[in-house]
A and B are shown apart, each in its own frame.
Chain A
Amino acid sequence: MPSTAVRHAPPAPPTAPLDTRLRIETPEGIDLILRPASLVPRALAFTIDLAIRGLILGVMFVLLFTLGQFGMGLGAILMFLVTWWYMVLFEVLNQGRSPGKQIIGLRVVHDDGTPVGWGASLTRNLLRFADILPFGYTLGILSCLNSRGFKRLGDIAAGTLVIYRDRSAERPPLAAAEPLRAPFAMNLEEQRALLEFAERQGGLSAARRTELAAILAEPLGVSPEQAEARINGIAHGLLGSA
Protein backbone atom coordinates (compact mmCIF):
# COMPACT_ATOMS: atom_id res chain seq x y z
CA MET A 1 0.00 0.00 0.00
CA PRO A 2 2.63 2.60 0.85
CA SER A 3 4.03 2.41 -2.67
CA THR A 4 0.65 3.21 -4.30
CA ALA A 5 0.10 5.97 -1.78
CA VAL A 6 3.34 7.53 -2.90
CA ARG A 7 2.54 7.14 -6.56
CA HIS A 8 -0.92 8.70 -6.20
CA ALA A 9 0.16 11.53 -3.97
CA PRO A 10 -1.71 14.67 -4.99
CA PRO A 11 0.33 16.92 -7.25
CA ALA A 12 2.16 19.65 -5.38
CA PRO A 13 0.35 23.01 -5.54
CA PRO A 14 1.69 25.18 -8.33
CA THR A 15 4.64 27.06 -6.96
CA ALA A 16 4.79 30.82 -7.24
CA PRO A 17 6.60 31.83 -10.42
CA LEU A 18 10.21 32.85 -9.99
CA ASP A 19 9.92 35.94 -12.17
CA THR A 20 7.63 38.96 -11.79
CA ARG A 21 4.54 37.21 -13.13
CA LEU A 22 1.51 37.16 -10.85
CA ARG A 23 -0.86 34.24 -10.58
CA ILE A 24 -4.50 35.21 -10.05
CA GLU A 25 -7.18 32.60 -9.45
CA THR A 26 -10.47 33.34 -11.18
CA PRO A 27 -14.02 32.21 -10.28
CA GLU A 28 -13.79 29.72 -13.16
CA GLY A 29 -11.13 27.85 -11.22
CA ILE A 30 -8.21 28.65 -13.50
CA ASP A 31 -5.13 30.75 -12.87
CA LEU A 32 -4.56 33.87 -14.90
CA ILE A 33 -0.92 34.80 -15.40
CA LEU A 34 -0.42 38.58 -15.33
CA ARG A 35 2.86 40.15 -16.36
CA PRO A 36 3.17 43.58 -14.70
CA ALA A 37 4.98 46.17 -16.76
CA SER A 38 7.91 47.85 -15.10
CA LEU A 39 9.09 51.42 -15.06
CA VAL A 40 10.59 51.81 -18.54
CA PRO A 41 7.67 50.69 -20.74
CA ARG A 42 5.30 52.65 -18.52
CA ALA A 43 7.43 55.78 -18.79
CA LEU A 44 7.53 55.35 -22.58
CA ALA A 45 3.75 54.99 -22.73
CA PHE A 46 3.37 58.08 -20.57
CA THR A 47 5.72 60.06 -22.81
CA ILE A 48 3.68 59.14 -25.87
CA ASP A 49 0.48 60.17 -24.07
CA LEU A 50 2.09 63.43 -23.02
CA ALA A 51 3.07 64.20 -26.60
CA ILE A 52 -0.43 63.39 -27.86
CA ARG A 53 -1.97 65.65 -25.23
CA GLY A 54 0.41 68.46 -26.07
CA LEU A 55 -0.48 68.11 -29.72
CA ILE A 56 -4.23 68.17 -29.03
CA LEU A 57 -3.91 71.27 -26.85
CA GLY A 58 -1.64 73.04 -29.34
CA VAL A 59 -3.95 72.44 -32.29
CA MET A 60 -7.08 73.32 -30.31
CA PHE A 61 -5.63 76.54 -28.96
CA VAL A 62 -4.75 77.75 -32.43
CA LEU A 63 -8.29 76.95 -33.59
CA LEU A 64 -10.00 78.38 -30.52
CA PHE A 65 -7.93 81.53 -30.54
CA THR A 66 -9.86 82.60 -33.61
CA LEU A 67 -13.15 82.23 -31.72
CA GLY A 68 -12.39 84.93 -29.15
CA GLN A 69 -14.04 84.85 -25.73
CA PHE A 70 -16.18 81.82 -26.48
CA GLY A 71 -13.05 80.01 -27.57
CA MET A 72 -11.30 81.00 -24.34
CA GLY A 73 -14.03 79.39 -22.24
CA LEU A 74 -14.04 76.32 -24.40
CA GLY A 75 -10.24 76.22 -24.27
CA ALA A 76 -10.26 76.29 -20.48
CA ILE A 77 -12.75 73.43 -20.30
CA LEU A 78 -10.75 71.51 -22.88
CA MET A 79 -7.56 72.10 -20.93
CA PHE A 80 -9.30 70.75 -17.83
CA LEU A 81 -10.56 67.69 -19.70
CA VAL A 82 -7.19 66.91 -21.25
CA THR A 83 -5.27 67.44 -18.00
CA TRP A 84 -7.47 65.45 -15.65
CA TRP A 85 -9.73 63.24 -17.76
CA TYR A 86 -7.71 62.08 -20.77
CA MET A 87 -6.35 59.00 -19.00
CA VAL A 88 -9.58 58.18 -17.16
CA LEU A 89 -11.78 58.32 -20.24
CA PHE A 90 -9.43 56.24 -22.35
CA GLU A 91 -8.78 53.66 -19.64
CA VAL A 92 -12.45 53.08 -18.85
CA LEU A 93 -13.88 53.35 -22.35
CA ASN A 94 -11.03 51.72 -24.28
CA GLN A 95 -10.49 48.58 -22.17
CA GLY A 96 -7.71 49.91 -19.97
CA ARG A 97 -5.60 51.35 -22.77
CA SER A 98 -4.70 54.99 -23.29
CA PRO A 99 -3.21 55.61 -26.76
CA GLY A 100 0.33 55.46 -25.35
CA LYS A 101 -0.34 52.19 -23.55
CA GLN A 102 -1.95 50.77 -26.68
CA ILE A 103 1.15 51.53 -28.73
CA ILE A 104 3.53 50.04 -26.16
CA GLY A 105 1.21 47.06 -25.57
CA LEU A 106 0.09 47.69 -21.99
CA ARG A 107 -3.26 47.79 -20.25
CA VAL A 108 -4.61 48.70 -16.82
CA VAL A 109 -6.52 46.10 -14.81
CA HIS A 110 -7.72 45.73 -11.24
CA ASP A 111 -5.57 43.66 -8.89
CA ASP A 112 -7.85 40.67 -9.53
CA GLY A 113 -7.33 40.89 -13.29
CA THR A 114 -10.73 42.37 -14.15
CA PRO A 115 -10.87 45.43 -16.44
CA VAL A 116 -10.51 48.77 -14.71
CA GLY A 117 -13.67 50.76 -13.81
CA TRP A 118 -14.52 54.41 -13.17
CA GLY A 119 -13.68 54.50 -9.46
CA ALA A 120 -10.28 52.84 -9.70
CA SER A 121 -9.27 54.73 -12.83
CA LEU A 122 -10.25 58.08 -11.32
CA THR A 123 -8.38 57.25 -8.12
CA ARG A 124 -5.15 56.23 -9.82
CA ASN A 125 -5.16 59.23 -12.14
CA LEU A 126 -6.06 61.84 -9.51
CA LEU A 127 -3.36 60.51 -7.20
CA ARG A 128 -0.88 61.03 -10.03
CA PHE A 129 -0.63 64.48 -8.48
CA ALA A 130 0.98 62.90 -5.40
CA ASP A 131 3.20 60.65 -7.53
CA ILE A 132 4.84 63.53 -9.39
CA LEU A 133 5.97 65.16 -6.13
CA PRO A 134 8.41 66.60 -5.29
CA PHE A 135 9.56 66.75 -8.94
CA GLY A 136 9.60 64.52 -12.02
CA TYR A 137 7.61 61.59 -10.59
CA THR A 138 10.12 60.98 -7.79
CA LEU A 139 7.62 59.38 -5.39
CA GLY A 140 6.00 57.41 -8.19
CA ILE A 141 9.32 56.01 -9.40
CA LEU A 142 10.47 55.08 -5.88
CA SER A 143 7.18 53.34 -5.18
CA CYS A 144 7.24 51.63 -8.58
CA LEU A 145 10.70 50.19 -8.05
CA ASN A 146 9.88 49.05 -4.52
CA SER A 147 6.63 47.17 -4.99
CA ARG A 148 6.02 43.68 -6.32
CA GLY A 149 3.65 44.67 -9.12
CA PHE A 150 5.62 47.81 -10.11
CA LYS A 151 2.89 49.99 -8.60
CA ARG A 152 3.11 53.72 -8.18
CA LEU A 153 1.27 55.28 -5.23
CA GLY A 154 -1.89 55.79 -7.27
CA ASP A 155 -1.90 52.12 -8.25
CA ILE A 156 -1.53 51.01 -4.63
CA ALA A 157 -4.45 53.15 -3.50
CA ALA A 158 -6.68 52.25 -6.45
CA GLY A 159 -5.77 48.54 -6.41
CA THR A 160 -4.72 48.50 -10.06
CA LEU A 161 -1.92 46.96 -12.10
CA VAL A 162 -0.41 47.89 -15.45
CA ILE A 163 0.22 44.66 -17.34
CA TYR A 164 1.51 43.57 -20.72
CA ARG A 165 -0.90 42.43 -23.33
CA ASP A 166 0.50 39.09 -24.48
CA ARG A 167 0.98 38.58 -28.15
CA SER A 168 0.32 35.09 -29.43
CA ALA A 169 3.48 33.16 -30.28
CA GLU A 170 4.06 31.10 -33.40
CA ARG A 171 3.90 27.35 -32.98
CA PRO A 172 7.51 26.20 -32.44
CA PRO A 173 8.70 23.56 -34.92
CA LEU A 174 9.62 20.16 -33.46
CA ALA A 175 12.59 18.20 -34.73
CA ALA A 176 11.48 15.18 -36.71
CA ALA A 177 11.83 11.94 -34.76
CA GLU A 178 10.29 8.52 -34.42
CA PRO A 179 7.75 8.45 -31.52
CA LEU A 180 9.12 6.52 -28.53
CA ARG A 181 7.90 5.49 -25.11
CA ALA A 182 9.76 6.80 -22.10
CA PRO A 183 11.73 4.04 -20.35
CA PHE A 184 10.49 5.25 -16.93
CA ALA A 185 7.32 6.77 -15.45
CA MET A 186 7.29 10.56 -15.41
CA ASN A 187 5.36 12.97 -13.25
CA LEU A 188 3.71 16.06 -14.72
CA GLU A 189 6.64 18.38 -14.06
CA GLU A 190 9.08 16.04 -15.78
CA GLN A 191 6.74 15.52 -18.70
CA ARG A 192 6.39 19.30 -19.10
CA ALA A 193 10.14 19.77 -18.89
CA LEU A 194 10.72 17.26 -21.70
CA LEU A 195 8.07 18.88 -23.90
CA GLU A 196 9.42 22.32 -23.18
CA PHE A 197 12.90 21.21 -24.18
CA ALA A 198 11.51 19.85 -27.45
CA GLU A 199 9.62 23.07 -28.15
CA ARG A 200 12.42 25.44 -27.21
CA GLN A 201 15.26 23.80 -29.10
CA GLY A 202 14.80 26.12 -32.08
CA GLY A 203 16.13 28.92 -29.87
CA LEU A 204 19.14 27.00 -28.51
CA SER A 205 22.53 26.37 -30.06
CA ALA A 206 23.48 22.83 -30.98
CA ALA A 207 26.16 22.64 -28.28
CA ARG A 208 23.76 23.87 -25.59
CA ARG A 209 21.10 21.36 -26.73
CA THR A 210 23.54 18.48 -26.45
CA GLU A 211 24.71 19.70 -23.07
CA LEU A 212 21.16 19.97 -21.70
CA ALA A 213 20.11 16.62 -23.14
CA ALA A 214 23.20 14.93 -21.73
CA ILE A 215 21.85 15.49 -18.21
CA LEU A 216 19.24 12.83 -18.99
CA ALA A 217 21.61 10.44 -20.76
CA GLU A 218 22.03 8.16 -17.74
CA PRO A 219 18.34 7.64 -16.81
CA LEU A 220 17.50 7.18 -20.50
CA GLY A 221 20.25 4.58 -20.78
CA VAL A 222 21.91 6.07 -23.87
CA SER A 223 25.18 7.82 -24.62
CA PRO A 224 25.21 11.61 -24.12
CA GLU A 225 25.34 12.18 -27.89
CA GLN A 226 22.16 10.20 -28.51
CA ALA A 227 20.19 11.75 -25.65
CA GLU A 228 18.85 14.65 -27.70
CA ALA A 229 17.35 12.43 -30.41
CA ARG A 230 15.92 10.17 -27.72
CA ILE A 231 14.24 13.07 -25.92
CA ASN A 232 12.75 14.32 -29.17
CA GLY A 233 11.39 10.85 -29.79
CA ILE A 234 9.81 10.72 -26.33
CA ALA A 235 8.30 14.19 -26.84
CA HIS A 236 6.72 12.98 -30.09
CA GLY A 237 5.44 9.96 -28.25
CA LEU A 238 3.86 12.16 -25.58
CA LEU A 239 2.20 14.44 -28.13
CA GLY A 240 0.88 11.53 -30.13
CA SER A 241 -0.29 11.68 -33.71
CA ALA A 242 -3.48 13.42 -34.67
Chain B
Amino acid sequence: MKQSLFESHYQAEWQCFAARLDALERGKATREDCQGFAAAYRQLCQQLALAQTRGYSPHLIEQLQQLAMRGHQQFYRHRSQLGARLLSFLFGGFPRLVRAEWRSVALAFGLFFGSLIGMGLLTYFYPELIYSLMDPDQVQNMESMYDPDAHRLGRFGERGSSDDWAMFGFYIMNNIGIAFQTFASGLLLGLGSLFFLLFNGLTIGAVAGHLTEIGYIHTFWSFVIGHGAFELTAIAFSGAAGLKLGWALLAPGRLTRGEALRQAARTSVQLVGGVILFLLIAAFIEAYWSSMTYTTPTVKYAVGAALWALVLAYFLLVGRRHAPD
Protein backbone atom coordinates (compact mmCIF):
# COMPACT_ATOMS: atom_id res chain seq x y z
CA MET B 1 0.00 0.00 0.00
CA LYS B 2 1.38 3.38 -0.97
CA GLN B 3 1.63 6.03 1.69
CA SER B 4 -1.04 8.36 0.27
CA LEU B 5 -3.57 5.55 0.21
CA PHE B 6 -2.63 4.53 3.75
CA GLU B 7 -3.04 8.08 4.96
CA SER B 8 -6.39 8.71 3.31
CA HIS B 9 -7.58 5.36 4.63
CA TYR B 10 -6.80 6.10 8.28
CA GLN B 11 -6.81 9.90 8.44
CA ALA B 12 -10.30 10.07 9.95
CA GLU B 13 -9.36 7.53 12.64
CA TRP B 14 -6.29 9.53 13.61
CA GLN B 15 -8.21 12.76 13.85
CA CYS B 16 -10.82 11.09 16.02
CA PHE B 17 -8.10 9.64 18.26
CA ALA B 18 -6.38 13.04 18.53
CA ALA B 19 -9.67 14.68 19.56
CA ARG B 20 -10.12 12.03 22.22
CA LEU B 21 -6.60 12.65 23.51
CA ASP B 22 -7.28 16.36 23.66
CA ALA B 23 -10.32 15.75 25.85
CA LEU B 24 -8.41 13.36 28.11
CA GLU B 25 -5.44 15.71 28.44
CA ARG B 26 -7.63 18.59 29.47
CA GLY B 27 -9.38 16.31 31.96
CA LYS B 28 -12.73 16.84 30.27
CA ALA B 29 -13.22 13.34 28.90
CA THR B 30 -16.72 11.93 28.81
CA ARG B 31 -17.65 8.27 29.19
CA GLU B 32 -17.79 7.90 25.40
CA ASP B 33 -14.24 9.22 25.03
CA CYS B 34 -12.93 6.45 27.25
CA GLN B 35 -14.92 3.65 25.68
CA GLY B 36 -12.86 1.71 23.19
CA PHE B 37 -9.79 3.81 23.93
CA ALA B 38 -7.60 0.76 24.47
CA ALA B 39 -8.61 -0.74 21.13
CA ALA B 40 -8.05 2.56 19.32
CA TYR B 41 -4.64 2.92 20.98
CA ARG B 42 -3.58 -0.61 19.98
CA GLN B 43 -4.76 0.07 16.45
CA LEU B 44 -2.65 3.20 16.30
CA CYS B 45 0.42 1.34 17.57
CA GLN B 46 -0.05 -1.23 14.86
CA GLN B 47 -0.39 1.46 12.20
CA LEU B 48 2.79 3.12 13.48
CA ALA B 49 4.68 -0.17 13.28
CA LEU B 50 3.36 -0.71 9.74
CA ALA B 51 4.35 2.80 8.67
CA GLN B 52 7.85 2.23 9.99
CA THR B 53 8.40 -1.13 8.32
CA ARG B 54 7.01 0.14 5.02
CA GLY B 55 9.41 3.07 5.07
CA TYR B 56 6.79 5.82 4.93
CA SER B 57 7.92 9.39 5.13
CA PRO B 58 9.50 10.69 8.36
CA HIS B 59 6.80 13.32 8.77
CA LEU B 60 4.02 10.72 8.89
CA ILE B 61 5.98 8.53 11.29
CA GLU B 62 6.69 11.50 13.53
CA GLN B 63 3.01 12.38 13.56
CA LEU B 64 1.98 8.82 14.45
CA GLN B 65 4.71 8.62 17.05
CA GLN B 66 3.39 11.72 18.77
CA LEU B 67 -0.11 10.29 18.81
CA ALA B 68 1.22 7.01 20.21
CA MET B 69 3.21 8.86 22.86
CA ARG B 70 0.17 10.87 23.94
CA GLY B 71 -1.97 7.74 23.91
CA HIS B 72 0.64 5.94 26.01
CA GLN B 73 0.58 8.76 28.56
CA GLN B 74 -3.18 8.50 28.89
CA PHE B 75 -3.38 4.71 28.79
CA TYR B 76 -0.79 4.16 31.50
CA ARG B 77 -2.06 7.03 33.56
CA HIS B 78 -1.48 6.73 37.26
CA ARG B 79 -4.63 5.56 39.00
CA SER B 80 -4.59 6.92 42.50
CA GLN B 81 -6.93 5.12 44.86
CA LEU B 82 -5.31 7.12 47.58
CA GLY B 83 -7.79 6.36 50.36
CA ALA B 84 -7.68 2.60 49.99
CA ARG B 85 -3.91 2.54 49.63
CA LEU B 86 -3.48 4.74 52.68
CA LEU B 87 -5.65 2.49 54.82
CA SER B 88 -3.92 -0.71 53.76
CA PHE B 89 -0.57 0.98 54.36
CA LEU B 90 -1.63 2.08 57.84
CA PHE B 91 -3.13 -1.29 58.82
CA GLY B 92 -0.38 -3.56 57.61
CA GLY B 93 2.01 -2.13 55.08
CA PHE B 94 3.87 0.28 57.33
CA PRO B 95 4.62 -2.03 60.30
CA ARG B 96 5.52 -4.82 57.87
CA LEU B 97 7.88 -2.49 56.06
CA VAL B 98 9.51 -1.42 59.31
CA ARG B 99 10.05 -5.06 60.32
CA ALA B 100 11.44 -5.91 56.89
CA GLU B 101 13.87 -2.98 57.09
CA TRP B 102 14.88 -3.78 60.66
CA ARG B 103 18.59 -3.34 59.97
CA SER B 104 18.52 0.32 58.99
CA VAL B 105 15.72 1.00 61.49
CA ALA B 106 17.74 -0.53 64.33
CA LEU B 107 20.81 1.45 63.31
CA ALA B 108 18.90 4.73 63.18
CA PHE B 109 17.18 4.03 66.51
CA GLY B 110 20.52 3.16 68.09
CA LEU B 111 22.13 6.36 66.83
CA PHE B 112 19.25 8.63 67.73
CA PHE B 113 18.14 7.23 71.09
CA GLY B 114 21.71 6.27 72.03
CA SER B 115 22.93 9.85 71.61
CA LEU B 116 19.74 11.17 73.23
CA ILE B 117 20.00 9.03 76.38
CA GLY B 118 23.80 9.33 76.59
CA MET B 119 23.73 13.11 76.31
CA GLY B 120 20.79 13.27 78.73
CA LEU B 121 22.69 11.37 81.42
CA LEU B 122 25.89 13.35 80.82
CA THR B 123 24.07 16.68 81.09
CA TYR B 124 22.30 15.50 84.22
CA PHE B 125 25.56 14.68 85.96
CA TYR B 126 27.70 17.46 84.42
CA PRO B 127 25.19 20.36 84.04
CA GLU B 128 27.65 22.74 82.38
CA LEU B 129 27.72 20.46 79.30
CA ILE B 130 24.49 22.06 78.03
CA TYR B 131 26.44 25.23 77.19
CA SER B 132 28.69 23.31 74.82
CA LEU B 133 25.63 22.72 72.61
CA MET B 134 23.45 25.80 73.15
CA ASP B 135 23.80 29.54 73.75
CA PRO B 136 22.89 30.85 77.19
CA ASP B 137 20.03 32.75 75.48
CA GLN B 138 18.59 29.56 74.04
CA VAL B 139 18.90 27.83 77.40
CA GLN B 140 17.10 30.76 79.05
CA ASN B 141 14.36 30.64 76.44
CA MET B 142 13.91 26.92 76.86
CA GLU B 143 13.77 27.18 80.64
CA SER B 144 11.00 29.74 80.42
CA MET B 145 8.97 27.41 78.18
CA TYR B 146 8.86 24.76 80.87
CA ASP B 147 8.67 27.01 83.90
CA PRO B 148 6.39 25.26 86.47
CA ASP B 149 4.62 28.59 87.08
CA ALA B 150 3.46 28.91 83.47
CA HIS B 151 -0.13 28.04 82.63
CA ARG B 152 0.53 26.44 79.32
CA LEU B 153 3.57 24.56 78.21
CA GLY B 154 5.79 24.36 75.20
CA ARG B 155 6.35 26.94 72.52
CA PHE B 156 3.84 29.79 72.51
CA GLY B 157 3.36 28.76 76.15
CA GLU B 158 2.54 32.23 77.39
CA ARG B 159 -0.40 32.61 75.00
CA GLY B 160 -4.03 31.62 75.42
CA SER B 161 -5.70 28.31 74.64
CA SER B 162 -7.21 29.63 71.40
CA ASP B 163 -3.75 29.36 69.89
CA ASP B 164 -3.59 25.57 69.79
CA TRP B 165 -4.28 25.82 66.09
CA ALA B 166 -1.28 28.08 65.54
CA MET B 167 0.90 25.60 67.41
CA PHE B 168 -0.48 22.74 65.36
CA GLY B 169 0.53 24.55 62.17
CA PHE B 170 3.95 25.37 63.53
CA TYR B 171 4.66 21.80 64.64
CA ILE B 172 3.65 20.40 61.27
CA MET B 173 5.90 22.75 59.36
CA ASN B 174 8.83 22.43 61.72
CA ASN B 175 8.81 18.71 62.46
CA ILE B 176 7.97 17.36 59.04
CA GLY B 177 10.54 19.73 57.59
CA ILE B 178 13.20 18.27 59.92
CA ALA B 179 12.15 14.73 59.01
CA PHE B 180 12.37 15.49 55.30
CA GLN B 181 15.81 16.99 55.69
CA THR B 182 16.98 14.00 57.68
CA PHE B 183 15.78 11.71 54.90
CA ALA B 184 16.97 13.67 51.88
CA SER B 185 20.46 14.35 53.20
CA GLY B 186 20.95 10.57 53.35
CA LEU B 187 21.70 10.83 49.64
CA LEU B 188 25.11 12.27 50.60
CA LEU B 189 26.43 8.76 51.30
CA GLY B 190 24.32 8.66 54.47
CA LEU B 191 26.38 11.39 56.11
CA GLY B 192 23.53 13.90 56.24
CA SER B 193 21.14 11.51 57.96
CA LEU B 194 23.89 10.54 60.36
CA PHE B 195 24.46 14.19 61.20
CA PHE B 196 20.80 15.07 61.71
CA LEU B 197 20.13 11.95 63.81
CA LEU B 198 23.07 12.66 66.11
CA PHE B 199 22.48 16.43 66.20
CA ASN B 200 18.82 16.08 67.11
CA GLY B 201 19.55 13.27 69.55
CA LEU B 202 22.26 15.27 71.32
CA THR B 203 20.17 18.46 71.47
CA ILE B 204 17.04 16.79 72.77
CA GLY B 205 19.11 14.74 75.24
CA ALA B 206 20.90 17.83 76.52
CA VAL B 207 17.63 19.72 76.97
CA ALA B 208 16.02 16.79 78.79
CA GLY B 209 19.04 16.33 81.07
CA HIS B 210 19.28 20.02 81.84
CA LEU B 211 15.59 20.53 82.65
CA THR B 212 15.54 17.42 84.83
CA GLU B 213 18.61 18.62 86.66
CA ILE B 214 17.18 22.06 87.45
CA GLY B 215 13.98 20.43 88.75
CA TYR B 216 11.43 21.15 86.00
CA ILE B 217 10.73 17.44 86.02
CA HIS B 218 6.96 17.34 85.88
CA THR B 219 6.45 20.21 83.47
CA PHE B 220 8.95 18.87 80.97
CA TRP B 221 8.39 15.12 81.10
CA SER B 222 4.61 15.31 81.29
CA PHE B 223 4.72 17.60 78.24
CA VAL B 224 6.95 15.50 76.00
CA ILE B 225 5.96 11.95 76.93
CA GLY B 226 2.68 11.92 74.96
CA HIS B 227 3.70 13.12 71.52
CA GLY B 228 7.26 11.85 71.94
CA ALA B 229 6.00 8.35 71.22
CA PHE B 230 5.16 9.43 67.68
CA GLU B 231 7.57 12.29 67.11
CA LEU B 232 10.81 10.68 68.22
CA THR B 233 10.11 7.37 66.48
CA ALA B 234 9.20 9.26 63.31
CA ILE B 235 12.49 11.18 63.30
CA ALA B 236 14.35 7.90 63.78
CA PHE B 237 12.43 6.32 60.88
CA SER B 238 13.25 9.20 58.57
CA GLY B 239 16.90 8.73 59.54
CA ALA B 240 16.58 5.02 58.75
CA ALA B 241 15.17 5.86 55.32
CA GLY B 242 18.08 8.24 54.67
CA LEU B 243 20.69 5.76 55.88
CA LYS B 244 19.22 3.17 53.51
CA LEU B 245 19.77 5.54 50.59
CA GLY B 246 23.34 6.18 51.68
CA TRP B 247 24.04 2.49 52.16
CA ALA B 248 22.77 1.73 48.65
CA LEU B 249 25.39 4.12 47.29
CA LEU B 250 28.19 2.85 49.54
CA ALA B 251 27.54 -0.86 49.08
CA PRO B 252 25.39 -1.48 45.99
CA GLY B 253 26.16 -5.21 45.98
CA ARG B 254 25.68 -6.80 42.57
CA LEU B 255 23.72 -3.88 41.15
CA THR B 256 24.97 -0.69 39.59
CA ARG B 257 24.91 2.25 42.00
CA GLY B 258 22.05 3.88 40.09
CA GLU B 259 19.90 0.76 40.16
CA ALA B 260 20.67 0.10 43.85
CA LEU B 261 19.73 3.69 44.65
CA ARG B 262 16.45 3.40 42.73
CA GLN B 263 15.48 0.24 44.57
CA ALA B 264 16.43 1.67 47.95
CA ALA B 265 14.53 4.89 47.23
CA ARG B 266 11.37 2.96 46.37
CA THR B 267 11.37 1.42 49.87
CA SER B 268 12.64 4.51 51.66
CA VAL B 269 9.96 6.79 50.32
CA GLN B 270 7.32 4.45 51.77
CA LEU B 271 8.99 4.78 55.16
CA VAL B 272 8.82 8.55 54.69
CA GLY B 273 5.09 8.21 53.98
CA GLY B 274 4.72 6.53 57.36
CA VAL B 275 6.82 9.25 58.96
CA ILE B 276 4.44 11.91 57.61
CA LEU B 277 1.43 10.12 59.12
CA PHE B 278 3.19 9.76 62.47
CA LEU B 279 4.24 13.40 62.58
CA LEU B 280 0.70 14.55 61.80
CA ILE B 281 -0.53 12.52 64.77
CA ALA B 282 2.33 13.88 66.90
CA ALA B 283 1.56 17.50 65.96
CA PHE B 284 -2.07 16.96 66.85
CA ILE B 285 -1.24 15.47 70.27
CA GLU B 286 1.41 18.11 70.95
CA ALA B 287 -0.89 21.02 70.18
CA TYR B 288 -4.11 19.80 71.76
CA TRP B 289 -3.11 17.40 74.54
CA SER B 290 0.48 17.87 75.67
CA SER B 291 0.10 21.61 76.32
CA MET B 292 -2.89 21.25 78.67
CA THR B 293 -2.22 22.03 82.30
CA TYR B 294 -5.56 21.23 83.91
CA THR B 295 -4.84 17.50 83.94
CA THR B 296 -2.42 16.24 86.58
CA PRO B 297 1.00 15.02 85.50
CA THR B 298 0.01 11.52 86.65
CA VAL B 299 -2.72 11.35 84.03
CA LYS B 300 -0.27 12.57 81.41
CA TYR B 301 2.30 9.96 82.36
CA ALA B 302 -0.36 7.25 82.16
CA VAL B 303 -1.57 8.42 78.75
CA GLY B 304 2.00 8.85 77.56
CA ALA B 305 2.94 5.34 78.64
CA ALA B 306 -0.16 3.99 76.93
CA LEU B 307 0.82 5.79 73.70
CA TRP B 308 4.35 4.36 73.82
CA ALA B 309 2.89 0.88 74.39
CA LEU B 310 0.50 1.48 71.50
CA VAL B 311 3.32 2.44 69.14
CA LEU B 312 5.41 -0.54 70.23
CA ALA B 313 2.49 -2.94 69.81
CA TYR B 314 1.68 -1.41 66.43
CA PHE B 315 5.11 -2.17 65.03
CA LEU B 316 5.41 -5.57 66.64
CA LEU B 317 1.93 -6.96 66.03
CA VAL B 318 0.01 -5.21 63.25
CA GLY B 319 0.09 -6.75 59.78
CA ARG B 320 1.28 -10.18 60.87
CA ARG B 321 -1.60 -11.83 59.06
CA HIS B 322 -2.57 -10.97 55.53
CA ALA B 323 -4.81 -7.93 55.61
CA PRO B 324 -8.35 -8.50 54.35
CA ASP B 325 -8.69 -7.00 50.90
Interface, chain A (partner B; CB < 8 A): 11, 26, 28-30, 32-33, 69-70, 72-77, 79-80, 83-84, 92, 95-96, 109, 113-119, 122-123, 126-130, 133, 153, 156-159, 166, 168-169, 171-172, 188, 191-192, 195-196, 198-199, 235, 238-242
Contacts and interface: CB of A to CB of B under 8 A. Distances in A.
Contacts of B8: 242
> Which one of B4, B25, B192 has the greatest number of beta carbons of chain A within 10 Å?
B4
Contact of A73 (B53, B167, B268): B167
30 contacts: A28-B68, A28-B72, A30-B48, A33-B69, A69-B166, A73-B163, A73-B166, A73-B168, A76-B169, A76-B172, A76-B173, A80-B169, A84-B177, A96-B73, A109-B73, A114-B72, A114-B73, A114-B78, A115-B73, A119-B269, A129-B185, A168-B63, A169-B62, A188-B53, A188-B55, A195-B56, A195-B57, A198-B57, A240-B2, A240-B3
Contacts of B185: 129-130, 133
Nearest to B268: A123
B110 to A, nearest CB: 24
Interface stretch (B127-135, B202-210, B258-266, B311-319): B258-266
Interface bin, chain B: 35 or more
A241 B77 CA distance: 39
Q: Considering the complex of A and B, which 3 residue pairs feature the smallest CB-CB distances, nearest first?
A: A240-B2, A76-B169, A73-B169
Nearest to B159: A69
A74 B4 contact: no
Contact of B261 (A76, A156, A168, A191): A156
Given A115-B78, A242-B4, 10 more contacts: A32-B65, A32-B69, A70-B166, A115-B73, A117-B78, A159-B265, A188-B53, A192-B55, A198-B57, A242-B7
B225 interface: no
A118 B77 CA distance: 12
A73 B283 CA distance: 12
A147 B176 CA distance: 31
A238 B3 contact: yes
A95 B265 contact: no
A133 B24 CA distance: 39
Contacts of A95: 25, 73, 77
Given A32-B69, A169-B59, A196-B58, A69 B163 contact: yes
A198 B181 CA distance: 56
B226 to A, nearest CB: 20
Contacts, number: 173
B180 interface: yes
A242 B2 CA distance: 8
B173 A166 contact: no
A240 B25 CA distance: 35
Nearest to A158: B265
B187 A153 contact: yes
B183 interface: yes
Nearest to A77: B169
A172 B269 contact: no
A118 B68 CA distance: 24
Contacts of B262: 156-159
A172 B269 CA distance: 48
B294 interface: no
A237 B154 CA distance: 84
Nearest to B265: A157
